[in-house]
Structure 1
Amino acid sequence: MRNIFALSLLVLLSLVNSQPDGDCNPTPQTFPTLFLDGCVALGRINTTCDGYWSAFSSAFANTDPSGITTENYEDYFNMFPITAAMDTFLFWSQTIELSVMLSCMCNAADVFSGPNYFPISIMDKIADRLDMPMTQLRWCGTTSGGINGIQYSGMCPCSTSYAFFQEFSVRFAEAAAGTIFYLGFGESEKGAFPLNSFFAMHEIPALNRNLVDRAVIMVVHVSQTYGDVSERCGQGSLLILQQRLVEQIPDIDYSCYDIFGYPVNTDASLVEVTDCAANIITSIQEDREPADDPCFKKEVSCPLNSGRQRRQDNNGTDPCNAGVSAGQGVSSLIIFWASLLVLVFAAS
């Protein structure tokens, strides 16, 4: 029966988290020009950029957009192997501005994320020129009409560009080594670890247990008062995150920090929050505990594997067992969805 409950949950989650259907934004009219300009702005010469555009566009041009998968982009991504140093991989969800600043800001932490990776950097520059978030940038090909096999009129299926970012996410996670870092937004109604995020669906399952040995989670908050939907370390979806990580890497060490002062509708304190996150990352990279700072609070620190020695706080208690465990959090979800299924079948 327990296996049936778990299977029911997995089926329901797969329906929610499957690749998006429907239509999204059309291909920008100046997409090739913007791509080449962005490539040159990133320090490549024109002839090299022409080759990059040819490899990228051939992944979807003259092709039915409904049939595009991650395999279409393999040749393009093979041109850019990920060779970042261990202990530098930064994952994120709902914190793109902070992640970009950590990746690109002088004197910030030594981290590697999408903005440091050439294929993603180009997309970021294109989106910036179009004055839109990179997450809204779309493109697609066509088997009839269009220009050079690219569809510029009408909406594009969301799946065409989704497959591009999915392929990057998997490769990025597969290359991660040592300590990985994750930035989540604790004030989101989706939770600090959204179950339909790329990190949940594609990146955690691709982590290599032989390469990754520690996860440092940073959850940003607007203030220390916490809002009605706030999730702190050791609560809500972050319990599921703990469980997902230990299922993927049984011997992983896990630390979680709540970071305060994330700005809403203003850039006033974004630099301060970036410095705070950089302090945590840099300290851990140097194999030392982050210095005390009012901008953050360490909530959880422990090896998740019950067979290993766990750290204890000053009171001799185990922070990993405080409150509801990750397993209990997942069990509660299983019971909820199983009950829902029973009601649905009873009504049918």
Structure 2
Amino acid sequence: MAALGCVPSWLPLLQLLLAAGAGGAQWSGKGTSQRLQSIFLGRCAEYCSLVSPELRDKNCTAIWEAFKVVLDKDPCSVFPSDYDLFINLSRHSIPRDKSLFWENNHLLVTSYSENTRRFTSLSDVLYGRVADFLSWCRQKNGSGLDYQSCPTSEDCENNPVDSFWKRASIQYSRDSSGVIYVMLNGSEPTGAYPVKGFFADFEIPYFQKDKITRIEIWVMHEIGGTNVESCGEGSVKILEERLQAMGFQSSCVDDYLPVKLLKCVDHNTHSDCALNSYPLLKKGVDESRCK
């Protein structure tokens, strides 16, 4: 038995490990993005100067100040309404027939919209661009930013990032008009249309019926991947029936050709991308050979 007053040799090591654990990741999400303010302001300036010069009078500093108020709040007590001023300062009109909604297709949508040249997705409006792919939150019991982890919906509902995208999604839906396009992932194992998700809960309910002519759904499948759902099947059918019940005219296309051609740029040797897999293209080539 060790004598009183003697410190076991392993105790300092244990204390060190406990201290390291206490300063480790507290939440399940990524920590605050490094250089958050610089990235935010840089994206804002680029957008207002190059992408949409008509927004040159937007005050990026004021927009940042409105955004960063959430960085002083408890990371599980940030609500969508906390971003109201930020949205009011950064929102702008969306071209008619150019809104592109999505689920489980973030990178593909970003590539296809091509910086507003083809479409304007949520990531292509100013208030979406400044925060795309970023993370942010305050330390739970401190005043500084938490660079190790931030809460997700697994940790608490009212976290900074989810509340941001809820508010941004609501505004994007309200400002969309004309033909509405929706890109879904038909190879997603859990289904192409999440019945509980941002599109279902924070975009569809805020569509302005008097401003929308019709809704076109594109169900894209991974090149060489599994075809889990297509138009008229599973969760896609649920979406189609929901839109019909809401009084919207809608249509659905499997593997919308322009988007599939873009996907094939990275899979140009795959059989799914062979010319004979596109009947219309093959017909055009065959006809040209006969002339």
Q: Same fold (TM over 0.5)?
A: yes
**Map of 1:293 onto structure 2:** 280
Q: Which protein shows a greater Rg?
A: 2
Q: Structure 2 regions of 5+ residues with no counterpart?
A: 1-26, 50-55, 153-158, 273-278, 283-291
Which range is displaced more, 32-41 or 75-84?
Answer: 32-41
**Map of 1:54 onto structure 2:** 65
**Map of 1:234 onto structure 2:** 232
Distance in 1 between residues matched to 2:110 and 2:31, nearest whole Å = 25
Distance in 2 between residues matched to 1:220 and 1:172, nearest whole Å = 22
**Map of 1:267 onto structure 2:** 266
CA contact (8 A) 1:222 1:262 kept: no
- 1:139-178 aligned at under 5 Å gives the runs 139-142=136-139, 145-147=142-144, 151-158=145-152, 159-178=159-178
Shift of 1:173: 0.9
- 1:66-105 aligned at under 5 Å gives the runs 66-104=76-114
Shift of 1:207: 1.1
Deviations 1:157-202 (A, max 9, x none): 2221100011011111112222110011111112121223311121
- 1:162-311 aligned at under 5 Å gives the runs 162-222=162-222, 227=226, 229-247=227-245, 249-250=246-247, 252-259=248-255, 261=260, 267-268=266-267, 293=280
- Give the total of aligned pairs: 233
Hey, which bits of structure 1, 4+ residues long, moved more than 4 A?
A: 260-266
Instruction: Give the secondary-structure state (helix, strand or coil) at the position aligned to 1:219.
Output: strand
Distance in 2 between residues matched to 1:28 and 1:146, nearest whole Å = 16
1:69 to 1:293, Cα distance in 2 relative to 1, 3 A: farther
Shift of 1:262: 7.2
> Which TM-score applies when normalising by structure 1?
0.59
The root-mean-square deviation of aligned C-alpha atoms, in Å, is 3.2
CA contact (8 A) 1:93 1:185 kept: yes
Instruction: Give the secondary-structure state (helix, strand or coil) at the position aligned to 1:214.
Output: strand
Shift of 1:236: 0.9
- 1:112-151 aligned at under 5 Å gives the runs 112-124=120-132, 134=133, 137-142=134-139, 145-147=142-144, 151=145
Say yes or no: does 1:37 pair with 2:73. Answer: no
Shift of 1:39: 2.6
Distance in 2 between residues matched to 1:190 and 1:246, nearest whole Å = 23
> Which TM-score applies when normalising by structure 2?
0.70
CA contact (8 A) 2:105 2:185 kept: yes
Shift of 1:257: 0.7
Instruction: Give the secondary-structure state (helix, strand or coil) at the position aligned to 2:215.
Output: strand
